[in-house]
Amino acid sequence: MGSILLFLTVPSLYLGLRGKLLYLKKAIIFTLITTILTIITLDYIAQITGTWLMYPQSIFPFKIIGIVTLEVILWAFFTCFFVIIFYEYFLDKHATKKLWNPKLKYLFMISLIVFAIFLFLFFKLPQVLNIPYFYAAWGVVLLLIPFLFQLLKYPKTTSKFFLATAYFFYLHFIYEITALKLGWWTFPGKEFVGWVSVFGTTFPIEELLFWFILLALGILSYYEYFDDDEK
């Protein structure tokens, strides 16, 4: 919990307040819609497949569906929220009048449908959730493909995303090394494309590609397309 506050919560709220609340409410609404159900689904499948084990020692006395800790949900929320606030404050620099774009309801509906499918499989066909090479699979589907779509359709808008990615690459690199050194998360499985070793730590290539690089690009792709103005 301390790491989430230090790396994500404090700086994102600081930028939100510095922006005189112009982006704060909009960012909160978008983040709530896109992260909560998604991270529950991803974290459950990731843990049963050995993709990662994240924040296993929760300070809370319960876990969602027996596996997912509240810290993971808070990490996902503030990671997404920080990316949006950073982008609006430093790069986009204009606030739309509406708190949410009507297109956002379609993203919400997609999230609900996917989560409903997950729950059905969880209760009826749990073996189907044991997806091989899960990190690579969800990274390509949820991050790489949407980003490439955004890049091809709105190259001028998307060019701003790379500046945000440069910062978050640096932030996530520090967070990763710290987390692995202190045991905040591990990668117990074997179904990875490859491994990266640096500063006495080892993590999957998928972590480098999808968390360090493509996560911010993917979040901003969803944000511009579903909730902003593509300007």
Paired tokens of 142:
């949820």
The residue extents of the domains of the chain are: 2-227
Looking at residue 31, the DSSP 8-state letter turns out to be H
Helix (H, G, I), strand (E, B) or coil at 197: strand
Dihedral angle sign, alpha carbons of residues 120, 124, 130, 131:
negative
pLDDT for the residue numbered 101: 84
Confidence (pLDDT) at 186: 97
Which single residue is written with the structure tokens 């066909």? 125
Instruction: Locate the DSSP E strands across the chain.
Output: 53-54, 185-186, 195-198, 201-204
Q: Token match 């991270």: residue?
A: 39
Identify the pLDDT of residue 20: 72
Give the pLDDT confidence score for residue 95 in this predicted structure.
64
The parts of the chain modelled with pLDDT lower than 70 are 94-97
- pTM, to two decimals: 0.94
Task: Report which of 213, 217, 34, 215 is spatially closest to residue 112, judged by C-alpha positions.
Answer: 34
